[in-house]
Amino acid sequence: MDTILHYSRLNVWQRSHKLVLAVYRASQSFPTAERFGLTSQLRRAVLSVPTNIAEGSKSVAPKEYAHFLNIAEGSLSETQYLLLVGRDLGYIPKDLAGRYLGETSELLRMFHGLRETIQSGD
């Protein structure tokens, strides 16, 4: 890949950024006791997704960019699990958690496609 697009033009970054905003809003209502637990962990995990896309987009080598995408994908999987915990503890309404989990699944598919594109050099 000769030219890596500015990260903000990537659909996967745009959607993960929207997910960050949604998760931050949803976690505002978590119990105070979770401030340094689930709230903090969930926010760090979801924030890591678009952050690593942005950081990786400045990589010169496709292999290095793919590394950052792998980190972002791992953070997205962590986010999925933490959303399940929040849902199962009753902190996130089931319908809202379902939407967020659906979005994380779609983003994981998008990461796979982006990584393949980068590694193929297109």
pTM, rounded to two decimals: 0.90
Q: What is the mean pLDDT of residues 52-73?
A: 91
Residue 97 domain-assigned?
yes
- Report, as an integer, the average pLDDT of 63-68: 91
Q: Which domain holds residue 14?
A: 7-120
Whether residue 1 lies inside any domain: the answer is no
Whole-number average pLDDT of the chain: 93
In this prediction, residue 60 carries a pLDDT of 78
Residue 1 pLDDT grade (very low, low, confident, very high; cuts 50, 70, 90)? very low
CATH of the domain at 87: 1.20.1440.60
Determine the Cα–Cα distance for residues 84 and 91; give it in Å rounded to an integer.
10
**How much of the chain, in percent, has pLDDT values that exceed 90?**
79
